[in-house]
Amino acid sequence: MRDNIYVTSPLLPPLEEFIPYLEQIWQSKHLTNAGPFHQQLEAELANYLGVEHLCLFSNGTLALLTALQALRVKGEVITTPYSFVATAHSILWNSLTPVFVDIDPLTCNMDPAKIEAAITPETTAILPVHCYGIPCDVDEIQRIADMYDLRVIYDAAHAFGVKQDGLSVLNQGDLSILSFHATKVFNTVEGGAIICRDAKMKKRIDFLKNFGFADETTVVATGINGKMNEVQAAFGMLQLRHIDDALEKRRAVYQRYQSLLQNIPGLRLLEAPENVEWNCAYVPVFIGPEFGCSRDSIYEQMKKENIFTRRYFYPLISEFPMYRGLPSARPGHLSVAESVSASVLCLPVYPTLTLQEVDEIVELLLSFSAHRSGPQIKMAVAEI
């Protein structure tokens, strides 16, 4: 029996490469509170990502919570039900009201054509997600935000390193947040960041993540403890040395899936638009009735073969108990998100996944298809 294959596996550079970083921390005895690695990682990440200002956090959820605080968001926040639950939790945790808007069936991102109908006098912000790392329709979202004087915070947890027309997508909106959780493209075990446009906002966010301290004796805001520690930051510095190689390997895995899963009846693979430099953060496939085997049956049967795919995002956030009573969570209002959520299956993708493993995953997946012509597909897979 082969080893278990999970949907992701963390980017883990060789252990011996991490030792010198730890020795430096032990020598400096500076374990946290904007230490040398923290400062270095902020500068190098901003440079690598092509953004002006970046504030590190101990995780992405605290970055989201703080982003809403930093912009003093009130009332209602328009968001997507098709995301990881932390997106909407950050709204509720700030005592704000999430208003769900349906998604576009091709990109899985918030459908901008449905935003205006969700705006009320209480609306102050839009919190979209660059789902799977595919950029939202940022121009249209900004146009609507400008028209109604709304703030825009992008949950860019999936969008590390993603560029559109050669520019970082992280410069869009008022703020963007990143997650560096172990399962993400770039990780600091746990970690995250807020990307902002000016030094004044960076200062405010830096105060907020350190209890609101402006100096030793002055507290200017009801801040929180969101600081990234030196061990996390040092791990991030090491990750940066390996990230280009990791991204290249992800793209090779995705391209293998793409070449093997073309023109399969009832199966669609997510694709990035031509002007987008995508990070292949996830490889979702959408299973239609024509495939001849249900999404959940494929999921269960692959599990039996030790291949652990994930149904990102099922259930929808709007189906969880603390959200389902909201007017915007009513049945039928989010029909596109409902049908995408019922058909999606995320296939394994990570830098150390071999192309041979991809072939095995595809072979197994296609064995469930009603259209499978047995040996012929097997041969096609072997020939590539």
Ligand X SMILES: *Cc1c(COP(=O)(O)O)cnc(C)c1O
Whose Cβ is closer to ligand X: residue 94's or residue 367's? 94
Whose Cβ is closer to ligand X: residue 111's or residue 256's? 111
Whose Cβ is closer to ligand X: residue 158's or residue 249's? 158
Whose Cβ is closer to ligand X: residue 80's or residue 369's? 80
Whose Cβ is closer to ligand X: residue 66's or residue 123's? 66
Judge whether 177 and 65 are in contact, CB under 8 Å: no
Minimum distance from residue 67 beta carbon to ligand X (Å) = 11
Minimum distance from residue 179 beta carbon to ligand X (Å) = 3
End-to-end Cα spacing for the chain? 24
Minimum distance from residue 43 beta carbon to ligand X (Å) = 21
Minimum distance from residue 295 beta carbon to ligand X (Å) = 20
Residues 6+ away with beta carbon under 8 Å from 134: 107, 108, 109, 162, 270, 272, 273, 276, 278
Whose Cβ is closer to ligand X: residue 176's or residue 369's? 176
Minimum distance from residue 82 beta carbon to ligand X (Å) = 10
Judge whether 317 and 323 are in contact, CB under 8 Å: yes
Whose Cβ is closer to ligand X: residue 243's or residue 267's? 243
Whose Cβ is closer to ligand X: residue 65's or residue 144's? 65
Minimum distance from residue 284 beta carbon to ligand X (Å) = 13
C-alpha–C-alpha distance, residues 58 and 61, integer Å:
9
Q: Which residue has the tokens 């010198």?
A: 20
Tell whether the torsion through CA atoms of 335, 281, 171 and 227 is positive or negative: positive
Whose Cβ is closer to ligand X: residue 59's or residue 168's? 59
Q: What residues make contact with ligand X under the rule CB under 6 A?
A: 59-61, 83-84, 86-87, 129, 155, 157-158, 179, 181, 192
Minimum distance from residue 181 beta carbon to ligand X (Å) = 4
Minimum distance from residue 62 beta carbon to ligand X (Å) = 7
Residue whose CB is nearest to ligand X in the complex, by number? 60
Minimum distance from residue 52 beta carbon to ligand X (Å) = 22
Amino acid at 60: G
Q: What are phi and psi of 341, to 5 degrees?
A: -60, -30
